[in-house]
Structure 1
Amino acid sequence: MSNREPRSGHEATFERLKVLTQNLPAHLEIHRLLLNLGDPANDEMSKDRYTALIAGGSVDESLKLAIEKTSVAPKNFFDRIEKAKNIGLVRDGQAIELHKIRLIRNVFAHALAPIGFDDPSISEATKGLWDHPVSSWSGYFAPVFAPRHQYAIVCGEFCKQLLLPPQ
């Protein structure tokens, strides 16, 4: 939590935004966000969304950087995965896992309703990431991790594999 003091007028702004939320459907994510502007990342769904966006975005950026070592990287995550597969940067099975990461990230990026890693479809997709061979101890213990942690670990492993020089 930030220890910054709100600037003058922020409290009034927060109150106006809370009134605005009364006109929004309660099931929308923006409703929850506007009601909790003082500390938006203090609930599990916010942590899940943050993890999905940051970890998935890091994989996307790592793919871009790895591809740019030899050629021009495509503009979007899907095409980067396909190009990485076509130039031999990742194997077919890894490309499937990368597409799962991309789809999970996209669900969190575009969902208007609150969503978390405990959602059955997200949780099931995350379980599939356990099949990805990782290079450190984390992969050995991966099945005992919560879906959010598993997603972050696998994303971190992909970033590491894509950015570090081969040994």
Structure 2
Amino acid sequence: MGSKGTRSPLESALRALTRATRDRPDPTELWKTLIDLASPKTADATVALVLGAAVEQALEIAISTHFVLDRDGCARMFEDEEIAPIPTFAAKIRLAYALGIYEKHIRDELNLLKGIRNAFAHAKADTKFTDKHIAQACGFLWLPQRWHPMGPPSGQQAIRDLDTPREKFVTSAQFLFMYLEHSDNGEKPKSFSKSGSYSPLAHPGT
């Protein structure tokens, strides 16, 4: 380890990796990425990991509107370190629900999406949306039953099957990103059922 006040090359490299995890892409550019990933040519793991990260970032934006901190202070609340108050996707989902940002069935959708993302992230072998356990989980996503996805890149709509597990995941992630990121308009997020931007969605099971 380096002496006090200096860092070894290894320490500097590790700190650079940590800083990279804190970078937050512009939401508009991130939305374009979500649309582009609708392409059937994109690998399943890339879809799951990138869309999962995009929804998690949008969740941070929604939660941050309740803080009295500046941008840097908000970022430190979510840093990927043990000392961060809100370090995990699961903790963010629970906190946003407690703040009234969304209702129970949206919380459950986020938890399901997180679980699918984690299955790809921690898999020891090549994982596909057609794998039995992934496909079964995607079948429980209910937002695709209520919302049509935003259009994919030009010319690709005809070759997309919107009933596949992969497309259900993409549709759910796109909707959740839109709803949560919309909170970055200077107003505190409202309860999902009271949002002026989206009509209330009743869960099919209610």
For 2:146 and 2:64, the matched residues in 1 are separated by 23
For 2:119 and 2:163, the matched residues in 1 are separated by 21
Contact 1:45 1:114 in 2 (8 A): no
* CA-CA distance at 1:136 after TM superposition: 4.4
Counterpart AA for 2:179? Q
Greater share of helix: 1
* Residues 103 and 136 of structure 1: CA distance in aligned 2, closer, same or farther (over 3 Å): closer
Q: How many equivalent residue pairs?
A: 120
Deviations 1:21-61 (A, max 9, x none): xxxxxxxxxxxxxxxxxxxxxxx897110000011111111
Gapped regions of structure 1 (runs ≥ 5): 1-43
Counterpart AA for 1:56? G
Match of 1:137, SS state, is coil
Counterpart AA for 2:109? E
Which of 145, 148, 151 in structure 2 is aligned with 1:137?
148
* Residues 92 and 118 of structure 1: CA distance in aligned 2, closer, same or farther (over 3 Å): same
Partner of 2:103: 91
- Pair 1:111 & 2:123 matched: yes
- Pair 1:160 & 2:178 matched: yes
Which range moved further: 96-105 or 70-79?
70-79
* CA-CA distance at 1:138 after TM superposition: 3.3
Deviations 1:124-162 (A, max 9, x none): 110111x227774339xxx94211121011101000011
- Pair 1:66 & 2:62 matched: yes
- Measured on the aligned residues, the alpha-carbon RMSD in Å equals 2.5
Match of 1:138, SS state, is coil
Which of 120, 144, 161 in structure 1 is aligned with 2:132?
120
Counterpart AA for 1:145? D
Q: Normalising by structure 1, what TM-score?
A: 0.64
* Residues 133 and 48 of structure 1: CA distance in aligned 2, closer, same or farther (over 3 Å): closer
Match of 1:154, SS state, is helix
